[in-house]
Chain A
């Protein structure tokens, strides 16, 4: 079965600094998607970035970028120039697998220090 592991339950970063959130996953599939979602205090789930496994190039969205290492099954999120509005719970997600399920990690709570 596919699994997603976020090993950092909480992290803190100084405003304007760079922080990296880690995510590893386990799968025997070759084609899949990986996602990072942000959940601010409003609890709304917001897509931050996505990566197609067949693409070698790392996805970027403004200040957000990923380091996708397919062989190592690693998918970390880098946030540059951290802002107070980046404070949230971040979830890594994998899917769909061969059974069409979507699997989420347990999340990393990110604090931004002014």
Chain B
């Protein structure tokens, strides 16, 4: 089954304790992305990756790191989490559109609910 998986689905942690949220897709998509969703703010892009070893900042990258060592995996790392990073996080992947040479519709993971105390 084609899917994007995220782990963990729920996480409660404390300020300053490093954590990693994993994301994996089995569709051989080039483009992968992380978003955070907060009430009244919609989804905001944190980081995205066009392909292996190619990553770039989205609109809210502060406090986050990513890596793309393999095409299927795109982990999100919070080196020193703070309470303002409490949010719902989504990973997504997209195929390239052969006509436009650009990412197309996104396939989303189920989300990770993170609480930082």
Instruction: Give me the interface of A with B, judged by CB distance under 8 Å.
Output: 6, 9, 31-33, 35, 43-45, 47, 50, 52, 54, 91, 93, 95-96, 99-107
Contact = CB atoms under 8 A, between A and B. Distances in A.
B88 A43 contact: yes
B74 interface: no
Contacts of A96: 102-103
A9 B42 CA distance: 11
B44 interface: yes
Given A33-B100, A45-B92, A96-B102, 13 more contacts: A31-B102, A33-B104, A43-B88, A43-B110, A44-B110, A45-B108, A95-B103, A101-B58, A102-B33, A102-B45, A103-B59, A105-B42, A106-B41
Interface string B41-70: 111110010100000101100000000000
B106 A102 contact: yes
Interface residues of B, number: 28
B45 A100 contact: no
B81 interface: no
B111 interface: yes
Contact of A106 (B40, B45, B56, B90): B40
Contacts of A54: 100
